[in-house]
A and B are shown apart, each in its own frame.
Chain A
Amino acid sequence: MEANYTELLAWARGPGFEIALAIFTFGIILRLLEILMLGRKKDYFVARESRFGGGFRTMFSRFFVSGKTLQRSWFIIVVGYAFHLGLFVVLFLFTPHIILIQSSLGLNWPGLPSTLVNTVTIVTLLAMLALLFNRLTHKVTRYLSTLQDYFVWLVVFLPLLTGYMAYNHMGLSYQLMLALHILSVELLMVVFPFTKLMHTFTTFTSRWYTGASAAQRGVNI
């Protein structure tokens, strides 16, 4: 049996990863082109401010929420932040991940202690469960949610869970867990360009467009 897992792991690390990376990269390029090539019509009104400043400002200002909006949506904001920051830490500040990125891209930066990342993973998983609970129980999110929302949730949850289990030698054999971890990441990469996961990139173009048009009207958002 062990031999099979070695093979599986080797496939996941080799051809599997290459296929996933190709779909991920070309998919994202295709989707971004699909969006940007549509262009936008020229404006003929006399603008109060340039698009550039406002577009740039909103790309960052939307990270901050305050006042009544924070009060009204505090749960999704706090838990959403915990999840996003946690995911970022686990993905980019876990030393084995950095080594992997270094081996393919040549970039290198210091990671956090593994035990800390381990704790962050637990927080991230809990945040995801809380978000799922919210999605299922809040009347607006329950109403809005489609199959894709649940599917995407699962596809993000699995790499976190399998990674956590592999690191802590839980469940199945380490090799199998690691193989499952890598495969689940590959699944994530494959569906990424064709689902709402694209917001990782398009959040910035969206904020840009919204901020730019608000600035033209002299509205600072």
Chain B
Amino acid sequence: MAKATFERGYNALKEQIDAPIASFLSSCVHCGMCAEACLFYAETGDPRYTPIRKLEPLRKVWKQEYTLLGKLTSLLGIGKLTDGELAEWKEYVYDSCTLCGRCSLVCPVGNDLVYMIRKTREGLAAAGHAPEGQIEASKRAIKTGSPMGVTLHALNAQIKHVEANTGLSVPLDVQDANYMVLLSSMEIVNFPEYLEAIAKIMHQAGESWTLCSDAFEATNSGIQIGSSDIARELVSRVVNNAEKLNVKVVISPECGHAYSAIRWEGPNLIGRAYKFKVQHILEVLDEFRAANKLKTEGFEESRLTFHDPCQLVRRGGVVQQPRNLLNMVSKNFVEMEEHGIDNWCCGGGGGQSAIEEAEELRTKAFNRKKTQLDQLGVETLVTACANCRIVMEEGLEAYQMDIPIVGLTEMLVEHLVEEGGK
């Protein structure tokens, strides 16, 4: 990576600006409605967290570079972006934004605010003002393939463990499989149940699948930090290996932003379509369900609800699938008041959870989810994102609430009919 300078940051912002952004910035009437949609404003009441304010550096560059009036005023030295300002904006662009996209749903003039905040990160990252935690994670991802530094060695250990536990084999680097399964480091470290669940489900469905030793990590810290170069490098690893193995479908794990990264941003980053299809694990499971390849028995006893990962619903369109799947194994599934594309973020998405100094703010923001849960009085919280899960576990602990959180895939596996679906 080139050295971070203000000039690079400025140019990165300049490069991001396209017709949608120019249209959005021309439209804002300063009505303040986007603030009410953002959990950081909603829980702190601090107007500095108003979404449209978070992309002020981008607006300044747009004005200065792409409008006649702005060009004239900047000749007089008015309204110019400074490095100090970029540095100051780290708090708004990273610490108090999870890229959840809720703000983009309410703006009366139709501004896609999260699109612009994501782009503003490119400027801060190039100018060297990204959070330390995210810079370190990106470096590790480039070097080891995993933002948490999880090595193939660790994965192999887990594969052995799963094979011993289940008596099933976990295929690695198999050519021409239907599915190539990606994992997130968090799953390898914290939730080994996920891989075991996949092995059992694939076995029951009778589908061929594989892991890839050179591309098992699904998350993309380049996208979170806002560095297209890093993001492109990370996504290329998956694409090249999947195409080498000639798989039909690459499955993004229970992680919201990993899905966004590989499904939507990836092809644009490398400038071409993939030769394989990308699906989130919930999409695959729902297809199995519809094709009668996923057979379950029995029902969960506890009253439960589902936390929608933002990137899956609002930014991904995977809304109905988790509900279909939950209803297979629960008769006591209740919805939060605002759910589906209206859900509230856990408070730690978009790389926010990697920012140590923002922990206090994250806990505050979690109060939104706490309030939603209190309203329902549920005994179990189900979700489909390892990051949401960790953030919410920490949040629940901070508020001394005793609600277990379960990944949807694992919950389904608990109910899998033994002997497979043959």
Contact = CB atoms under 8 A, between A and B. Distances in A.
Interface of A: 30-31, 34-41, 43-46, 48, 58-59, 62, 65, 67-69, 72-73, 76-77, 80, 135, 138-146, 149, 194, 196, 198-199, 202-211, 213, 217-221
B308 to A, nearest CB: 12
Across the A-B interface, the 4 shortest Cβ-Cβ residue pairs: A218-B317, A207-B110, A44-B267, A140-B32
B264 A217 contact: yes
A36 B31 contact: no
Contact of A210 (B69, B110, B316, B337): B110
30 contacts: A34-B22, A40-B18, A44-B268, A46-B277, A62-B110, A65-B108, A68-B337, A69-B106, A73-B32, A73-B33, A73-B36, A73-B106, A76-B31, A80-B108, A140-B35, A141-B30, A143-B47, A143-B50, A144-B32, A196-B27, A199-B28, A202-B27, A209-B110, A210-B111, A218-B318, A219-B315, A219-B317, A219-B341, A220-B341, A221-B341
A206 B27 contact: yes
B26 A202 contact: yes
Main secondary structure of the interface of A (DSSP, over half): helix
Which secondary structure dominates chain B's binding surface? helix
B138 to A, nearest CB: 23
A221 B26 CA distance: 21
Nearest to B20: A209
Interface of B: 17-24, 26-33, 35-37, 41, 45, 47-48, 50, 52-53, 66-69, 104-112, 115, 263-264, 266-268, 270-273, 277, 313-318, 337-338, 341-342
B23 A213 contact: no
Contacts of B268: 41, 43-45
Given A144-B53, A199-B28, A35 B36 contact: no
Contact of B19 (A38, A145, A146, A211): A38
B68 A34 contact: yes
Given A73-B36, A206-B109, A219-B315, A141 B31 contact: yes
Nearest to A218: B317
B105 A45 contact: no
Most chain A CB atoms below 10 A, which of B24, B31, B45: B31
Contact of B273 (A40, A46, A202): A46
Nearest to B36: A72
Contacts of B314: 219
